[in-house]
Amino acid sequence: MQKILGAMRKACQTYNLIEDNDKIAVGISGGKDSLTLLTALKQFQRFSDKKFSLVAIAIDLSNGENDYGDIVSYCDKIKVELHIIPSNVFEIVFDVRKEKNPCSLCANLRRGLLNSNAKLIGCNKVALGHHKDDLIETFLLSLFFEGRLSTFKPKTYLSRMDITVIRPLIYCDESEIINVSKSLPILENKCPANKHTERENAKILLKNLDKIYPNSREKIFNAIIHSERYNLFDKI
């Protein structure tokens, strides 16, 4: 956890992610990333020079079918208020829309519910569990499927919602998160598309790239976060 906290501190200082009097809603999917984020933020709260409060919000995508019992107990243990929001996102994505590539629509619906419910309980920020590997994978997916050099940012202000989205794990390796999360109450992923997505293919691609060009993943990450290294065509 010390490596996670060190990387989180660096991200918070570099991008000014957390400020005094913030009320931060941590989006809890039940997976390793979001539970590690919640755990790390709770520990970070103890020694950070910024005074902020935390709540957790879980969007139940299967309209009450998920068992959040262990997560409820864990949030009680670390003294974080948990809100579980039932939704029919899976039904809309898989039964109504019958999406062949469901991830984008699912993410949009889920984040819309997360942001709106965060506002309802008085939060000014939403924290998501995206890490370094997610950043690189999103960059590759945008390149291959949209023809754009793009990925998500560590901090984004959503003017329509008047809420700021932060990603405090942006400097964290997924391997470190996997190690830390072994003791956390991970919820079974019931998504029908789990492990069968283009993001999973991007993970495989990055692993193969690292075999051919050692440390390529880290070099891609550094190329993304260091704008002074950009050397692309200017508009004419």
Is 110 within a domain?
yes
Looking at the domain assignment, is residue 236 inside a domain? no
Please report the pLDDT score of residue 162 as a whole number: 94
pLDDT band at 235 (very low <50, low <70, confident <90, very high): low
pLDDT (average), residues 32-37: 96
**Residue 234 included in any domain:** no
**Domains: count for the chain:** 1
User: Domain for residue 109, yes or no?
Assistant: yes
Asked if 20 contacts 51 with a C-beta cutoff of 8 angstroms, the reply is: yes
**Residue 167: how many other CB atoms lie within 10 Å:** 24
Burial class of residue 209, CB neighbours in 10 A (0-12, 13-18, 19+)? middle
Query: Which CATH number characterizes residue 217's domain?
Result: 3.40.50.620
- Nearest Cα to Cα of residue 161 among 194, 199, 131, 123: 123
205 domain-assigned: yes
Which residues span the domain enclosing 125?
2-227
Q: What pLDDT is attached to residue 106?
A: 78
pLDDT at position 128: 97
**How would you list the strands of the sheet with 23-27, edge to edge?**
81-86, 53-60, 23-27, 125-127, 163-166, 155-158
Does a structural domain hold residue 97?
yes
Among 12-26, 53-67, 134-148, 163-177, the least confident range: 53-67
Which residue intervals of 16-102 are DSSP H helices? 32-47, 69-78, 89-90
Choice between 193 and 217, residue whose per-residue pLDDT is larger: 217
In a domain, 104, yes or no: yes
In a domain, 233, yes or no: no
